[in-house]
Amino acid sequence: MSLKELEKQVIMQTYARNDLVLVRGKGTRVWDEKDNEYLDFVAGIAVCNLGHANEVVADAVCKQARTLVHTSNLYYTEPQVRLARILTEHCFADKVFFCNSGAEANEAAIKLARKYAAGKYGKHRFRIITTEMSFHGRTMATLTATGQAKVKNGFDPLLEGFLTVPFSDLEAARRVMDDSVCAFLVEPIQGEGGVILPSEGYLRGLKDLCRERGILLMFDEVQTGMGRTGALFAHQVYGVEPDVMTLAKALANGLPMGAMLARDEVAQVFGPGSHATTFGGTPLVCTAAIAVMETLTSEGFLEDLNRRSVLFEKGLLEVARSSPMVKDVRGKGMIWAVDLNREAKPFVVAAQSKGVLVNSVQERTLRMTPPLTVTEAEIGRLMEVLKEILG
């Protein structure tokens, strides 16, 4: 029995997998079981920001795995405290809650917002505003918060207390901000929605509205954090600080990890027993994340990334000019989308046949989220392939 046949027999069929068995990786490159090589512009869906089998991360993890892997949060551990300090030193937040995924980080943010508002204003203030085409996770609370009907089908009744408004529409947000609202949860850039950038002044306007009305502004940076947009966190690109931020995906460069960060005034409503997790912030994953943070914040790393991102944008615009199939190109840093006038999936398959991995979102959009270490030559090869398959 082949691996693919066995997979169908023993694994729930919740994924529409590409016809590829990957066995190893290094940097931006991965290899299948037949030793065919591919340039990976998916990076585990914006997860392997420092590339596959990164030596700094691997060495740190191997050393920690031989020292202490797990203790639970009943005890103090040095890697967890050290990581929290590094994270808070590089953003607006004062406190961190560690968990295992983006959905869990957003779930923690939802709970924190409701508890904070209930204590400050009363239990009537529990509703959370999110945006159309957003994606916040697949737990019951986070799929309810997600602004895409396709992830909600079959899971009714959904949880109460969520409102959805159009992205980049301040007036729509203003209209629903009444005394029942405790928070506005939004991605600075919508990743799963198709790499949708905010309109000029939108995030600043949201910040002002939320401050005006005593509503928490919460940024979901699960996909856009950890250097993906050219800054350590996407909100820093736009110069707007939230009250709460969620991280995951690239935080530990492939090890499962999430984090919810908040200002001290908000964070302090979480006391012992109010929220918890068995595996959140183990010494192992925290050690990996420390290596990631130290690399991202090292001198010249983000500057070099932004220099290469200019080449990325220039290359995609050239692809667009040469192809009547391309409707739009947009992105920032190392997260880019190419909108097509037809279904995108066949072009994912075509690129794979030429040794390049990309993925598709929202049916007609190709998305590229390579490791932040992708080279100029590798970017050039992507552009060659895109011109071939879209020409």
Task: Name the DSSP letter for residue 159.
Answer: P
Write the pLDDT tens digit of every residue in 352-374: 999 999 999 999 999 999 999 99
Q: What percent of the chain stands above pLDDT 70?
A: 100
- What's the mean pLDDT when you consider all of the chain? 97
Tokens representing 267 are: 């964070």
The pTM of the full predicted model, rounded to 2 decimals, is 0.97
Residue 271's alpha-carbon distances to 266, 267, 274, 353, in angstroms, are: 11, 9, 6, 53
How high is the pLDDT of residue 189? 98
Write the pLDDT tens digit of every residue in 165-207: 999 999 999 999 999 999 999 999 999 999 999 999 999 999 9
∠ CA 325-331-334, nearest 5°, is 115
CA torsion, points 232, 233, 236, 241, in degrees to nearest 10? -140
How high is the pLDDT of residue 391? 87
Residues pairing with 130 in the sheet: 164
Give the contacts of 265 (CB within 8 A, at least 6 positions apart): none
pLDDT at residue 218 above 90?
A: yes
Domains of the chain (ranges; CATH) run: 3-54+303-390 (3.90.1150.10), 57-296 (3.40.640.10)
Tokens representing 40 are: 């990976």
How high is the pLDDT of residue 93? 98
Write the pLDDT tens digit of every residue in 71-113: 999 999 999 999 999 999 999 999 999 999 999 999 999 999 9
Write the pLDDT tens digit of every residue in 11-31: 999 999 999 999 999 999 999
Write the pLDDT tens digit of every residue in 310-356: 999 999 999 999 999 999 999 999 999 999 999 999 999 999 999 99
CA max distance for the chain: 62
Interatomic CA distance for residues 215 and 218, integer angstroms: 9
Type and span of the H or E element at 380: helix 376-390
